[in-house]
């Protein structure tokens, strides 16, 4: 028969080893949690600093820029056609530059206010969000002869105003980034997995080179600056809105084969 004392000692040694392993695992988890907490705090401070920087810089630039824009507009109204062609061209450059700078500043202010000026997250019908976004774009949709297909959409948890803006930006991009001789074709649909909703907005436009998939969400990033107007802030704002909702945004695309933007949001029960 096996020695009971030896078996007991072996069992105790195994228990001690397991306890030691568990202690090491708990300590490792605690250290990793502490590092994540530190990183999260650093990220919050960084985001706050970015918001404050964007607001201060934008606010301080607004007044002098308004003055520049006003005086260049006065020059254009008073002297266009009365001087030589170069003078008209230079006045046009100055006026256009001031106007574009105002657009960039306003976009930067919008970006910095997403987390500080947003409403509380609550149950929101995506159906109504998409309706509002398409209504805001009704003229552009009509003029471009766009075809928009959509499926029934669920409820999510979110800030309705910001979600309307997110959808509106993505649909506006789908309308814009289409070859001139083609009518935009857009499909809006969702898939659900457990408590998460993936909202996809797909188009048949010019597409995006995979090399640029991450870069297009950077602020002021424009992939086709000479072909299409814009500030380069639309997708950065979409990403910030998605992140504020605890979700994400990504693109699936290749050149000439259209783009599909996928936004993840939290599924919500229909409000009574």
Domain containing residue 172: CATH number = 3.30.565.10
Domain total for the chain?
Answer: 2
Whether residue 75 lies inside any domain: the answer is yes
The pLDDT value recorded for residue 170 is: 96
The pLDDT value recorded for residue 141 is: 94
The pLDDT value recorded for residue 243 is: 92
More confident site: 207 or 222:
207
- Tell me: do 101 and 221 sit in the same domain: no
Helical segments of the chain, H only = 4-79, 85-113, 126-136, 138-144, 160-176, 234-244
The pLDDT value recorded for residue 13 is: 81
- Per-residue pLDDT band for 85 (boundaries 50, 70, 90) equals confident
CATH of the domain at 40: 1.10.287
- Per-residue pLDDT band for 6 (boundaries 50, 70, 90) equals confident
Percent of the chain residues topping a pLDDT of 70: 90
Residues 6+ apart with CB under 8 A from 218: 236
Average the pLDDT over each of 208-212, 238-242, 259-263 and give the range with the smallest value. 208-212
Whether residue 99 lies inside any domain: the answer is yes
**Where does a domain end: 113, 135, 162?**
113
- Tell me: do 32 and 161 sit in the same domain: no
Average the pLDDT over each of 9-13, 158-162, 170-174, 236-240 and give the range with the smallest value. 9-13
- Tell me: do 94 and 159 sit in the same domain: no
The pLDDT value recorded for residue 161 is: 93
Please determine, for residue 1, whether its predicted confidence score (pLDDT) is greater than 60: no
The pLDDT value recorded for residue 179 is: 85
Parent domain of 105: 1-113
- Tell me: do 172 and 72 sit in the same domain: no
The pLDDT value recorded for residue 150 is: 93
**Where does a domain end: 90, 113, 136?**
113
Whether residue 159 lies inside any domain: the answer is yes
- Tell me: do 126 and 238 sit in the same domain: yes
Q: Span 110-115, mean pLDDT? A: 76
pLDDT tens, residue by residue, 118-144: 788 999 999 999 999 999 999 999 999
- Tell me: do 255 and 140 sit in the same domain: yes
- Tell me: do 129 and 75 sit in the same domain: no
Whether residue 258 lies inside any domain: the answer is yes
Closest CA to 260 of 185, 197, 196: 185
DSSP string, 221-243: --S-TTTS---S-HHHHHHHHHH
**Where does a domain end: 93, 113, 133?**
113
- Tell me: do 93 and 162 sit in the same domain: no
Residues 6+ apart with CB under 8 A from 176: 228, 230
CA distances from 74 to 5, 86, 102, 211 (A): 101, 17, 17, 44
Whether residue 272 lies inside any domain: the answer is no
- Tell me: do 49 and 172 sit in the same domain: no
Considering the entire predicted model, what is its pTM? 0.70
Q: In degrees, to the nearest 5, what angle opens at C-alpha 158 toward C-alphas 139 and 215? A: 70
- Tell me: do 108 and 127 sit in the same domain: no
The pLDDT value recorded for residue 272 is: 56
- Tell me: do 51 and 170 sit in the same domain: no
- Tell me: do 107 and 169 sit in the same domain: no
Q: Span 18-32, mean pLDDT? A: 84
Please determine, for residue 156, whether its predicted confidence score (pLDDT) is greater than 80: yes
Percent of the chain residues topping a pLDDT of 90: 38
The pLDDT value recorded for residue 162 is: 94
């Amino acid at each position: 028969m096996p020695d009971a004392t030896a078996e007991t000692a072996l069992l105790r040694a195994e228990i001690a080893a397991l306890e030691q392993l568990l202690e090491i695992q708990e300590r490792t988890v605690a250290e990793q949690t502490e590092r994540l907490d530190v990183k999260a705090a650093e990220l919050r401070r960084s985001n706050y600093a970015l918001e404050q920087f964007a607001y201060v810089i934008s606010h301080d630039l607004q007044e002098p820029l308004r003055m520049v824009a006003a005086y260049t507009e006065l020059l254009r109204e008073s002297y266009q056609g009365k001087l030589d062609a170069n003078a008209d061209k230079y006045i046009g450059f100055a006026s256009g530059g001031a106007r574009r700078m105002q657009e960039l500043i306003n976009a930067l202010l919008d970006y910095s206010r997403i987390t500080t000026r947003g409403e509380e997250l609550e149950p929101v019908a995506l159906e109504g969000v998409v309706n509002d976004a398409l209504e805001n774009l009704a003229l552009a949709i009509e003029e471009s002869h766009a075809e928009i297909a959509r499926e029934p959409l669920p409820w999510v948890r979110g800030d309705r105003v910001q979600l309307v803006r997110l959808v509106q930006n993505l649909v506006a991009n789908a309308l814009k980034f289409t070859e001139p001789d083609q009518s935009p074709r857009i499909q809006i649909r969702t898939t659900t997995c457990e408590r998460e909703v993936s909202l996809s907005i797909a188009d048949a436009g010019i597409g995006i080179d995979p090399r640029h998939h991450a870069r297009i969400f950077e602020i002021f990033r424009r992939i086709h600056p000479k072909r299409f107007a814009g500030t380069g802030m639309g997708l950065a704002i979409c990403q910030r809105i998605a992140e504020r909702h605890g979700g994400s945004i990504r693109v699936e695309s290749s050149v000439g084969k259209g783009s599909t933007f996928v936004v993840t949001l939290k599924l919500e029960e229909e409000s009574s």
